[in-house]
Copies of this chain bind each other. A is one copy, B any other.
Amino acid sequence: MKARVHVMLKNGVLDPQGEAVRHALGTLGFEGVNGVRQGKVIELDLAETDPEAARAQVARMCETLLANTVIESYTVEIA
């Protein structure tokens, strides 16, 4: 079973990577870019076959390792 996790900085937390990308896009001549946020995507290949069990397992992974929940939020997609 495949799972995909998105980890993004929470709103209000300064995102220097995103700001750097926004600035670089402007330098390259791309106009109309109002904001950029950069995060991580983690694709997991799990042995678990039950979607709900897989979702719960991945949520535990996020809480313990994949996301810093003080400043980051995460979403889990099971496919």
Q: Which residues on B sit within 8 Å (CB–CB) of A28?
A: 61, 64-65
Do B25 and A65 have beta carbons less than 8 Å apart?
yes
Task: Decide yes or no whether A52 CB sits under 8 A from chain B.
Answer: no
Chain B: which residue is nearest A24 at the CB level? Answer: B65
Do B21 and A46 have beta carbons less than 8 Å apart?
no
Task: Decide yes or no whether A68 CB sits under 8 A from chain B.
Answer: no
Chain B: which residue is nearest A31 at the CB level? Answer: B47
Q: Which residues on B sit within 8 Å (CB–CB) of A79?
A: none
Shortest C-beta distance, A61 to chain B (Å), equals 6
CA A71 – CA B11 in complex, angstroms?
31
Additional A-B contacts beyond A36-B43, A38-B43 (20; CB < 8 A)? A18-B43, A25-B61, A28-B64, A28-B65, A30-B60, A30-B61, A31-B47, A32-B47, A34-B45, A36-B42, A36-B45, A37-B42, A37-B43, A38-B40, A38-B41, A39-B41, A39-B42, A39-B43, A40-B40, A40-B41
